[in-house]
Amino acid sequence: MSAGTLYVVATPIGNLEDISLRALRILKEADLIAAEDTRHSRKLLTHYGIGTPLMSCHEHNETERAEQFVAMLKQGKSIALISDAGTPAISDPGFLLVRRCRREGLPVASVPGVSAVVTALSIAGMPCDRFEFGGFLPPKKMARMALFETLCYRELLSVFYESPHRLQASLKDLEEVLGPEREVAVARELTKIHEQILRGPVAEVREHFEREGARGEIVLLVGPGQAQAPALSLEEALVSFERGGGLSPKEAVKQAAAQFGLSTAEVYRLRLRLKEEGRL
């Protein structure tokens, strides 16, 4: 008996029409749909008259569910993996399940579609020939500030997710670290009735959302910086991140490596030396 396939299916981020014919067919034909939030996903399925059984697969049970799903796939069952919105495994559950299936040699197929990152990039009017995606911004101020420090001289567009209730704080931190003129764009309610893209100097964008507030899911785009030698040496930056920034050793190494364009292994060896010298 041949194994079943795990289909990684992109679903709408707002407008329910943003789903492919292939995605609808797979959702109808699959033996099971693994959904981040079954209550949320049921609205989409009901809209299209899809009655395929649902089972939850979220950040708190993905490891356990992976065992069950792998067993089903080995029995020849097909499973469609979806998240609440957009493409699974992109700052959403799914990575652990996909990796487990790959390790087991089970078929994994992509059913591509909408992604909030690509949607925001396509309509923000910012240079996106080169960009990096950083997922959700850190919820704590010091970690957020340390991350923004790494963007000072980054010569490409940086894209993040942020929650509406932390947006103002993040914009304030961004302005403090990168200056009031750094270009940013805030994309919210993408593909929905109240879709909004606000682009401009971070100080102006921050002032707007301080007046108007923000609702809905947020994509934050931070424009490229100017090429310039960092003010701090690698050693100084590493000590600053870990001592002044309150980051864990692992996160401090990661941030320093990103800022100076080095491998984490190189920076980790430096950290060990600094530790031996009593500088950390």
Give the model confidence (pLDDT) of 40-82 as tens digits: 999 999 999 999 999 999 999 999 999 999 999 999 999 999 9
In a domain, 30, yes or no: yes
Give the model's pLDDT for residue 229. Answer: 52
Cα–Cα dist 199/197, whole Å = 6
In a domain, 243, yes or no: yes
Regarding whether 50 and 81 lie in a shared domain, the answer is yes
In a domain, 147, yes or no: no
Average pLDDT over residues 237-261: 82
Ranges of H-type helices in 133-276: 141-149, 167-178, 202-212, 234-239, 249-260, 264-276
* CA angle, residues 162, 165, 169, in degrees to nearest 5: 75
Q: In what order do the strands lie in the sheet with 157-162?
A: 131-136, 157-162, 218-222, 183-188, 196-201
In a domain, 129, yes or no: yes
Give the model's pLDDT for residue 191. Answer: 97
Question: Is the CB of residue 164 less than 8 Å from the CB of residue 144?
Answer: no
What CATH number is attached to the domain comprising 192?
3.30.950.10
| 152 CB-side CA count, 13 A | 17
Give the model's pLDDT for residue 230. Answer: 52
Q: How far is CA 37 from CA 64, 82, 83, in A?
A: 16, 9, 7
Collapsing DSSP to helix, strand or coil, 130 comes out as: coil
Regarding whether 168 and 110 lie in a shared domain, the answer is no
DSSP 8-state class, residue 166:
G
Domain boundary among 222, 249, 267: 222
Amino acid at 201: P
Count structural domains, the chain.
Answer: 3
Regarding whether 79 and 129 lie in a shared domain, the answer is no
In a domain, 227, yes or no: no
Question: Is the CB of residue 160 less than 8 Å from the CB of residue 150?
Answer: no
Give the model's pLDDT for residue 227. Answer: 64
Prediction pTM value: 0.79
In a domain, 127, yes or no: yes
Give the model's pLDDT for residue 264. Answer: 85
39's tokens: 């209550």
Average pLDDT over residues 228-242: 76
Average pLDDT over residues 164-169: 96
Domain holding 249, by residue range, is 234-276
Closest by CA to 186, choosing from 165, 169, 209, is 209
Q: For the segment 180-223, what is each residue's pLDDT rounded down to a tens digit?
A: 999 999 999 999 999 999 999 999 999 999 999 999 999 999 99
Residue 98's pLDDT band (boundaries 50, 70, 90)? very high
Average pLDDT over residues 151-173: 94
